[in-house]
Amino acid sequence: MDMNTIEAVVPTTDPEQWRDGDAWLAGGTVLFSYGSLAFGPRPLTRLLDLGSAGWTPVTITAEGIDLAATCTVAELYSLPGTPDAISRNWPALDLVRPCCDSFVASFKVWNMSTVGGNLCTSLPAGPMISLCAGLDGTATILGPGGTSRTVPVAQFVTGDAANCLAPGELLRSIHLPASALSARVAFRRLSLSNLGRSGVLLIGRLDGGTSLVLTVTAATKRPVQLRFDAVPGTDALADALDEAIPADLYHNDIHGLPAWRRDMTYRLAEEIRAELAVPEGAPGLRVSGDFWPPPDPGQDVRGHHARGLNAQQEGA
């Protein structure tokens, strides 16, 4: 879409230069598809272009991984295959590709759209939000006057297309800590249609082999995180979900009714609980949804949602 109200494109990463009517331009896959009238009460007049920021997309250290806000989805997808990442042997890197795959788009979109743009768009189905929240990521945010603050990604998104950024603030990077990357993880994701947007996306993490962190995204308007000292029982997990997610926090749009999202949240959360409660690779576990290898290699469950779970939406 043409952004025909734009008067200037300014290459900068300096929040001091931001003024009313400006938007940060990253990959532009949202800006150029929504148009310049969709971002507030007045049309956008300038784009502050991050294209020449020159930020290193991915930095790996013993402390974890730093993703620049300008890291593209394509760059993130290649991360687990890099020698540096392989040598760290972090199990939670297994989440990277399923999360990228949850961003169902062509290579053209993957090559342009950024991790930061995904967080700042703040859609419930933002898979980079799921990944970074699920791994206890911390966002670094730059403000005018050289100020900087950090916010847990799980709290960065505050609602459907809403986040904690003040006007003009710039998301600089996301830090994923080695402690979370070292954890065993489980992933479940469902869409109502083949190649559809995520309706439910849950990530489980077993920290230190004992405590469970469950991050619910896509089903809810903002990420919801539940923490347990030990893997709970089925009823305790359901009780915790009851308490953490009120009915009106489930998202409602064309990609899924709240009642379906709620049912699938409980179902997939229980699958994750069961998967992480037993030793890795235990046979006979149920794996619904997309993109996560079945524990039992003989069991073909990928794409299961298209065959079975949609029936639940229809009340079967």
Ligand X SMILES: Cc1cc2nc3c(=O)[nH]c(=O)nc-3n(C[C@H](O)[C@H](O)[C@H](O)COP(=O)(O)OP(=O)(O)OC[C@H]3O[C@@H](n4cnc5c(N)ncnc54)[C@H](O)[C@@H]3O)c2cc1C
User: Closer to ligand X at the Cβ: 17 or 210?
Assistant: 17
The least CB distance from residue 56 to ligand X, in Å, is: 15
The least CB distance from residue 83 to ligand X, in Å, is: 27
Maximum alpha-carbon separation in the chain: 60
User: Closer to ligand X at the Cβ: 90 or 156?
Assistant: 156
Name the closest residue to ligand X (Cβ): 117
Contact 68, 107 (CB under 8 A): no
As a dihedral over the C-alpha atoms of residue 258, residue 260, residue 262, residue 265, rounded to 10 degrees, the angle is: -130
User: Closer to ligand X at the Cβ: 27 or 295?
Assistant: 27
User: Closer to ligand X at the Cβ: 115 or 206?
Assistant: 115
Could you give the angle at which helices 234-244 and 258-277 cross, rounded to 10 degrees?
A: 140
User: Closer to ligand X at the Cβ: 65 or 142?
Assistant: 142
Secondary structure E strands in 219-281: 224-228
The least CB distance from residue 129 to ligand X, in Å, is: 7
Bridge partners, residue 177, by sequence: 64
**Residue from 136, 182, 137, 173 nearest 59 by CA:** 173
Q: What is the DSSP letter of 197?
A: P
* Interatomic CA distance for residues 147 and 170, integer angstroms: 11
Q: Tell me the two tokens of residue 226.
A: 């539940």
Binding site for ligand X (CB under 6 A): 23-31, 33, 39, 50, 69, 103-105, 109, 112-114, 116-118, 120-121, 123, 125-127, 165, 170-171, 197
3-state helix, strand, coil in the chain (%, to 5): 35, 25, 40
The least CB distance from residue 158 to ligand X, in Å, is: 14
The least CB distance from residue 31 to ligand X, in Å, is: 4
Tokens 């619904």 map to which residue? 288
Radius of gyration of the chain (CA): 19
The least CB distance from residue 85 to ligand X, in Å, is: 21
* Interatomic CA distance for residues 247 and 71, integer angstroms: 35
- Number of other CB atoms surrounding residue 280 within 10 Å: 11
* Interatomic CA distance for residues 7 and 241, integer angstroms: 48
User: Closer to ligand X at the Cβ: 197 or 261?
Assistant: 197
The least CB distance from residue 75 to ligand X, in Å, is: 12
The least CB distance from residue 47 to ligand X, in Å, is: 8
User: Closer to ligand X at the Cβ: 15 or 295?
Assistant: 15
**Residue from 8, 244, 210 nearest 23 by CA:** 8
User: Closer to ligand X at the Cβ: 119 or 185?
Assistant: 119
